[in-house]
Structure 1
């Protein structure tokens, strides 16, 4: 398989990627698939790259219903207006019936409500965690077209409270990005801290692109919290934490997985991150997850270390296999209806390899079902398109983010039940 790089994507608004296939697998028809990811930012490029890699693998396995997959990639620039415009172009101009993406809930939500659901296009996200998306799906507004391979914000919020409680922290101030995702996880995290007896002094919204966050840092410092909880993205996270440290604030910080960034680590400095611990959802400790790490390392000459990579792989694989099961002329609703055939616990277990995809296509073409065993394990969705997941805590090291503790699905569930 071709080793693809995205080095030229920074600042690009759109890129159409023609996926190569082996001559023996060459197809004489094409299926266009929309892909929206923030390729302008350092952590977004590998997420998009992983999805494109799955497209390569599906083509090598025979394509979607015998047709070559053409992944049309557009950069949302981590901006909701740009993301909606990108999605609208994919739906209205390119005529896609499947959209894979995006990362931020603050972009996925308006894409779902104003573009994909009204147009009858299926949307599969790797990384959006807002519980608002669950509400949209439960209300029927998503028309059964919404799925995500990343657990909701409840998991990370609960793990943050668990880590704070274990560390003996008694007070915290919450800083959250002022968008749909940040407002959601910031609120849930504050509730989780309070549920375990930790005082939340304040919850402070952080807006994009301010010239300074000194006022917010001064406000946060007023009550002298023992720790900060940061539900921020790297750009505003860097600016805020620099102001905070400069004012003499504590270096004890708990961060969401959005800060698992080399840019954040380098700009803030490891010396200021010695008491920082991050949260993230995780793949279960199963053979298929280990196989993904090995395959990713071989493909990209390094292990998957950024956020959302395993989730991006599974989102693309499940969506494309469902497209195959529905047929080349399928509508978004047809594709969505076949997701259960790809993730049936009673179906034939298939690995996330070219050979596994080929076998899955054979079974699905015959009207059977498969149990996809992917980078995040045996994926299943609830009625609102959600998944459950274990979690991890992580810290910054010289080589990048390093896992500190694995928290099983059972541990996460038990802790969340104890809070309730």
Structure 2
């Protein structure tokens, strides 16, 4: 466990190892779960490693429903076709009933509609934020099989509008990735800007893997905006910003969390990012969230600074506890039906460590429910599998990504209501 010994959470892991090592050693069965995550990109590797970290904690307590867990990981390459093929292989060949992922909404959506829902497999995403999932659930088309520990795009869109308002920008051009996620957040933030009286001079769709985005940038420059907003991933974001700066565009930039990447910072250059402000959802300021940071830092020799890491941890822990509650041989539908027993606000509070995982299993085995207290706080899902969350703004600093401002859940909700 790489010397996990300094935090309360880590102590729990150590206790879990001591208490449950005999049970784990006696096991002779393994249950596979699937994970479809973008490990070929720099910000995707830590998300997958964090999911594996949660699996390791579960296994240290004796596993799930009497068996050790093997997480079979496949790379999506942030590509819908690759992601669907990976998910099909995990479901059809490996027989998984639980699938973790994906990250991009544009990858998660086709996996949900063409793989997991038809197969009756539960899908738990750490990081997909499109409101299209909410609408699909409201229409009864997810069959209750989809959950996500990341708040919807509406939160980041609202916070991006808040940043523009506070900066005094009167006109903004919006660049968005031409997929489910980008179209969703791009449309939401344009409405939020307009609700604040900020002119949206252009809404420019950015497609994957073009040789150049000069035509798109030239079109956006025609409106002479005071700032730009970007809902892009690092590859396209880097190229758009380079073109934008080279053609004389402003350095006033606001961006969604997909650009929370050292790769993006290094490829663009800090000299061009002095007026850049990013947004992200955030973990609440709770003891459980702080304990996760301490334990993660000890495990990985550094704090969780990339996007989606607390969400990945909680998604995996909750899904595994639901699998335990569902019992040996559970189907995806069985597992999904037990998520409420893990996130019951009236259940027994359990911590997100080996001791808490073991305690949760004991309570669940006795017919009780638990209230999981994790890296993103006291997780609770609504009827559509959605969660709410606080938010942060962040900037690129010389030593990495630096939090600029924390915005509480109450502040986020009040501001979103004011935009209606």
TM-score interval, smaller chain: over 0.9
Per the alignment, residue 313 of structure 1 pairs with: 313
Cα contact 1:173–1:229 (8 A) shared by 2: yes
Per the alignment, residue 163 of structure 2 pairs with: 163
Deviation at 1:24, TM superposition (A): 4.8
Cα contact 1:257–1:280 (8 A) shared by 2: yes
Per the alignment, residue 187 of structure 2 pairs with: 187
Deviation at 1:320, TM superposition (A): 0.3
Cα contact 2:127–2:312 (8 A) shared by 1: yes
Match of 1:373, SS state, is strand
Paired with 1:60 and 1:90, the residues of 2 have a C-alpha distance of 24
Unaligned runs of 5+ residues in structure 1 are 4-20
Unaligned runs of 5+ residues in structure 2 are 4-19
Per the alignment, residue 399 of structure 1 pairs with: 399
**Residues 67-216 of structure 1: matches in 2 within 5 Å?**
67-216=67-216
Paired with 1:272 and 1:91, the residues of 2 have a C-alpha distance of 45
Per the alignment, residue 25 of structure 1 pairs with: 24
Cα contact 1:151–1:387 (8 A) shared by 2: yes
Show CA shifts across 1:297-336 (max 9, x none). 0000100000000000000000000000001210001000
- Pick 1 or 2: higher relative contact order, CA cutoff 8 A, min separation 6: 2
Per the alignment, residue 386 of structure 1 pairs with: 386
1:341 equivalent in alignment to 2:341 = yes
Per the alignment, residue 6 of structure 2 pairs with: none
1:66 equivalent in alignment to 2:59 = no
Show CA shifts across 1:198-241 (max 9, x none). 00011000011111111111111111100000000000000110
Deviation at 1:59, TM superposition (A): 0.4
Per the alignment, residue 412 of structure 1 pairs with: 412
Match of 1:144, SS state, is coil
CA distance 1:89–1:2, change in 2 (3 Å): farther
Q: How many residues align?
A: 404
Deviation at 1:365, TM superposition (A): 1.0
Per the alignment, residue 250 of structure 1 pairs with: 250
Paired with 2:330 and 2:216, the residues of 1 have a C-alpha distance of 50
CA RMSD of aligned residues (A): 1.2
Per the alignment, residue 327 of structure 1 pairs with: 327
Give the TM-score taking structure 2 as reference length: 0.95
State the 4+ residue runs in structure 1 displaced beyond 4 angstroms. 21-24
Deviation at 1:2, TM superposition (A): 6.2
**Residues 293-308 of structure 1: matches in 2 within 5 Å?**
293-308=293-308
1:377 equivalent in alignment to 2:377 = yes
Paired with 1:200 and 1:328, the residues of 2 have a C-alpha distance of 54
Paired with 2:401 and 2:91, the residues of 1 have a C-alpha distance of 37
Cα contact 1:31–1:328 (8 A) shared by 2: no
Match of 2:292, SS state, is helix
Per the alignment, residue 9 of structure 1 pairs with: none
Match of 2:39, SS state, is coil
Paired with 1:394 and 1:99, the residues of 2 have a C-alpha distance of 31
Deviation at 1:22, TM superposition (A): 4.2
1:43 equivalent in alignment to 2:14 = no
Deviation at 1:399, TM superposition (A): 1.5
Give the TM-score taking structure 1 as reference length: 0.95
Deviation at 1:122, TM superposition (A): 0.2
Paired with 1:62 and 1:324, the residues of 2 have a C-alpha distance of 11
Paired with 2:340 and 2:167, the residues of 1 have a C-alpha distance of 41
Paired with 2:175 and 2:71, the residues of 1 have a C-alpha distance of 37
Per the alignment, residue 34 of structure 1 pairs with: 34
Cα contact 1:284–1:408 (8 A) shared by 2: yes
Match of 1:203, SS state, is strand
Deviation at 1:23, TM superposition (A): 5.3
Paired with 1:328 and 1:171, the residues of 2 have a C-alpha distance of 57
Deviation at 1:38, TM superposition (A): 0.2
Match of 1:114, SS state, is helix
Paired with 1:320 and 1:400, the residues of 2 have a C-alpha distance of 33
Paired with 1:2 and 1:161, the residues of 2 have a C-alpha distance of 42
Cα contact 1:36–1:86 (8 A) shared by 2: yes
Match of 1:127, SS state, is coil
